Amino acid sequence: MKISKLGEFGLIDKLTSILQIKDSSVVVGFGDDCSCVNIHGELILFTSDIQLEGKHFIKEKIEPEDLGWKLVSINVSDIASCGGIPEWGFISVGFSPDTELEYVEKIYTGMKDACDFYEMDVIGGNTSASDFIFLDLFLTGKTGKFIGRNGAKEKDLVVLSGYTGLSRAGLELLLMDRKKYEDFEKRLIKAHTRPLARIDLSDKIMRYANSCIDISDGLLGDLRHIGKNSKLKILIEKDNLPVHPDLEKFCRKYNKDPLDYVLYGGEDYELVFTVSEENVKQFENCFVIGKVERGEGVFLKYKDLIEKLEEKGFEHI
C-alpha cells in the first residue's frame, strides 16, 4: 500500500504503533503538539518541525531571514500550545554545495532574531549535503502543567487567540507573482512569511485552559483534534468567527469567501483552546467562538441552522 492512501494521520498512527514507549517518566508520547517527560519532577516538552524546500517554501518566494524566523516560530508555537516556554533548540540542516554562504547566513540571522525574541537558544545540531534545502528544528521547553488536546470538558467555551486565514491569503498573493502589492496585501504576505507564536499566552494557557492546540493545519482541522481527543463535540458560532479587515479586503478584491479562509486556512500559529466559563475572563483580547458539548464532530451554527463541517484540514502527505 502506498502511504498516500493512509493520509498523514493514518500514517502517524501506523508508525507510532511500532514504536512502543517503555519509560514510565514519559507523561505524553505521540499524538499531541509536544511530547512531555517528567525529569526529576520537572515537566519537559519536546517538539520538532521542519521546513522543506518545494514542500513548505519556495526559495524565491521567502526572504532567508523570514525562513529562519518562521522555522523557530512554528516550533515555539507547539510549545506554547502545551502551556510551555521554549528553552533549547537543535537544528539539522541540509543545503546543496552550490548554495551561497550569504543565503545560509541570512537564514541563521533570522533564527537568531527569533531566538532573541522568544528568549531561547539553539545549542547544537547537524549539517548535511542535500539536493534541496531542509531545515529541521528540534525544540525543548518546560511547563508547570501539560495542556493537551484531550482535556476539553463539556460546557467549556472555545476560544481563539487571534485572526485566522491571513497566512493562506498571504501565500496565495505570493503565488500570484505580482510586481507590486497594496499595503494590506503586504501585511497578509507577512502573516505567512513571518508568523508570531503566541508565547505571550503560554502562562495563561497553562493556568486556565483545559485543552489547547496551535493552528497550523487550519482552524477546523485543528479543532477537530481537540474534539476527537477529548471525545466531545465542538459547536462553532459562525457570527463569532473573527474576520480581519485585511482578509475582508482581500476577499472582496479577489471574490473569495472569508469563511473558507478563516476555517480552512493553515499556518496561522494562533492558539485555539477550551476554557471554563469562569476562567474565560482571563483571556481579554481573544475571541469566544463556540462551546464544547456532549457528542462528537465539529459543527457550525448559523442562526437556527447547524451544519456538520466536512473534513478539509491540511494534510502533509
In the complex, least distance from residue 136 CB atom to Mg ion, rounded to whole angstroms: 12
| Host H or E run for residue 11 | helix 3-16
In the block, residue with C-alpha cell 477546523: 220
Task: Rank residues 64 and 218 by Cβ distance to Mg ion and give the closer one.
Answer: 218
Per DSSP, the residues of 174-221 read: HHTT-S---HHHHHHHHHHHS----GGGHHHHHHHEEEEEE-SS-HHH
In the complex, least distance from residue 119 CB atom to Mg ion, rounded to whole angstroms: 20
Task: Rank residues 33 and 185 by Cβ distance to Mg ion and give the closer one.
Answer: 33
Binding to Mg ion (CB under 5 A) within 202-221 occurs at 214, 216
Give CA–CA dist 185/169, Å, rounded. 8
Task: Rank residues 56 and 244 by Cβ distance to Mg ion and give the closer one.
Answer: 56
In the complex, least distance from residue 47 CB atom to Mg ion, rounded to whole angstroms: 6
Q: Report CA-CA distances (Å) from 308 to 24, 179, 220, 300, 301.
A: 39, 41, 11, 6, 9
In the complex, least distance from residue 305 CB atom to Mg ion, rounded to whole angstroms: 31
270 counts as binding Mg ion under rule CB under 5 A: no
Task: Rank residues 43 and 173 by Cβ distance to Mg ion and give the closer one.
Answer: 43
Give CA–CA dist 160/64, Å, rounded. 30
Residue 156 makes CB contacts below 8 A (sequence gap 6+) with 210, 211, 274, 275, 276, 277, 291, 292
In the complex, least distance from residue 194 CB atom to Mg ion, rounded to whole angstroms: 17
Which of left, alpha, beta for 83 (phi over 0: left; psi -120 to 50: alpha)? left
78 counts as binding Mg ion under rule CB under 5 A: yes
Which of left, alpha, beta for 269 (phi over 0: left; psi -120 to 50: alpha)? left
- Kindly list the strands in the beta sheet with 42-52, ordered across the sheet, starting from the edge strand earlier in the chain: 26-28, 35-39, 42-52, 134-143, 85-95, 121-129
Give CA–CA dist 140/76, Å, rounded. 9
In the complex, least distance from residue 71 CB atom to Mg ion, rounded to whole angstroms: 11
In the complex, least distance from residue 8 CB atom to Mg ion, rounded to whole angstroms: 12
Binding to Mg ion (CB under 5 A) within 284-303 occurs at none
From residue 24 to residue 53, the character string flagging contacts with Mg ion as x (rule: CB under 5 A) and all else as - is: ---------x---------------x----
Extract the C-alpha cell encoding 304: 437556527
Task: Rank residues 69 and 184 by Cβ distance to Mg ion and give the closer one.
Answer: 69
Beta carbons within 10 angstroms of residue 225's beta carbon:
22
136 counts as binding Mg ion under rule CB under 5 A: no
From residue 214 to residue 253, the character string flagging contacts with Mg ion as x (rule: CB under 5 A) and all else as - is: x-x-------------------------------------
Give CA–CA dist 195/10, Å, rounded. 28
Task: Rank residues 78 and 136 by Cβ distance to Mg ion and give the closer one.
Answer: 78
Nearest residue to Mg ion by CB is 33
- Residue 309 per-residue DSSP state: P
Q: Kindly state the number of chain residues that form the binding site for Mg ion, as judged by CB under 5 A.
A: 5
Task: Rank residues 49 and 270 by Cβ distance to Mg ion and give the closer one.
Answer: 49
Task: Rank residues 65 and 214 by Cβ distance to Mg ion and give the closer one.
Answer: 214
Interacting residues toward Mg ion by CB under 5 A: 33, 49, 78, 214, 216
